[in-house]
């Protein structure tokens, strides 16, 4: 089998609400590119330093923001997680969980697992900052629970996660979701932020078919 010479790179964070809103579009873009481009997950690290419990004001801000994303995208949100005492929003753990899946089963499955993390957090109000909860989600996904936890806590997973953060920064990614394309002409941005599939699909097809004008931004 010939290895695709094109690469689609999804950069996101499991606890980014716009990334959850974008999840159906992400799946359709992956379907368009599957077998025609390599599919790669890179985690971005949305809130690495948020380790203090969220204040009532912060929780209210999150609720308003999630409601906006849900109204615009149609994605389901549950809000029970916002009632948890001591809620924190640090995203290193959930990012590392996605990287752990990538290390165990490869990029395409990691992209699917990334979406399961999002669904668990936003639609089911599960605490994806907890390693035990992350291991439960991994087991439900079909990964060995003990194997997942061992890899999750490994120096390899921690280093790989940090390298993802640094890679995203080097490419100038400043928000999520961001979808990049990579081929012999180098990197370009397919989208920075949410866009519907009717806008992104034709651009992805043009890129895959060699019709995309790389002198212009891939998406506006």
- Cβ burial 8-18 (10 Å sphere, 16+ → b, else e): bbbbbbbbbbb
pLDDT in tens, 13-42: 999 999 999 999 999 999 999 999 999 999
Helical (H) or strand (E) element with 38: strand 38-43
Helical (H) or strand (E) element with 183: strand 178-183
pLDDT in tens, 149-200: 999 999 999 999 999 999 999 999 989 999 999 999 999 999 999 999 999 9
Confidence bin at 218 (pLDDT 50/70/90): very low
For residue 188, is it within any domain? Answer: no
Are 207 and 6 in contact by the 8 Å Cβ rule? The answer is yes
What average pLDDT does this structure show over 114-126? 97
For residue 49, is it within any domain? Answer: yes
What's the whole-number average pLDDT of the chain?
Answer: 92
Domain CATH for 59: 3.40.30.10
Nearest-CA neighbor of 46 among 108, 107, 112, 128? 128
Supply the pLDDT for residue 91: 92
Lowest average pLDDT, out of 1-5, 51-55, 73-77, 87-91, goes to 1-5
> Cα-Cα-Cα-Cα dihedral of 170, 89, 25, 137, to 10°?
110
Are 205 and 176 in contact by the 8 Å Cβ rule? The answer is no
For residue 59, is it within any domain? Answer: yes
Into how many domains does the chain fold? 1
Q: What is the pTM of this model?
A: 0.93
For residue 63, is it within any domain? Answer: yes
Question: Which structural domain, as residue segments, surrounds residue 87?
Answer: 7-178
For residue 115, is it within any domain? Answer: yes
Confidence bin at 213 (pLDDT 50/70/90): confident
For residue 187, is it within any domain? Answer: no
For residue 208, is it within any domain? Answer: no
For residue 70, is it within any domain? Answer: yes
């Amino acid at each position: 089998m010939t290895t695709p010479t094109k690469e689609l790179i999804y950069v996101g964070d499991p606890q980014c609400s716009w990334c959850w809103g974008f999840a159906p579009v992400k799946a359709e873009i992956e379907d368009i590119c599957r077998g025609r481009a390599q599919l790669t997950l890179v985690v971005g690290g949305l809130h690495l330093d948020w380790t203090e419990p969220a204040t009532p004001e912060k929780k209210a801000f999150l609720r308003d923001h999630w409601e906006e994303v849900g109204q615009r995208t149609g994605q389901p949100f549950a809000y029970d997680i916002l009632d948890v005492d001591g809620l924190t929003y640090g995203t290193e753990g959930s990012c590392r969980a996605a990287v752990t899946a990538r290390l165990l089963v490869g990029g395409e499955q990691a992209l699917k697992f990334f979406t399961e993390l999002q669904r668990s957090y936003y639609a089911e109000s599960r605490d994806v900052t907890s390693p035990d909860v992350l291991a439960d989600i991994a087991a439900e996904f079909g990964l060995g629970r003990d194997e997942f936890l061992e890899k999750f806590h490994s120096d390899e997973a921690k280093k790989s996660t940090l390298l993802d953060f640094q890679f995203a920064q080097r490419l100038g990614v400043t928000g999520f979701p961001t979808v990049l394309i990579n081929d012999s002409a180098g990197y370009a941005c397919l989208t920075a932020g949410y866009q519907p599939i009717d806008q992104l699909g034709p651009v992805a097809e043009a890129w895959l078919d060699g019709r995309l004008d790389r002198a212009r931004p891939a998406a506006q």
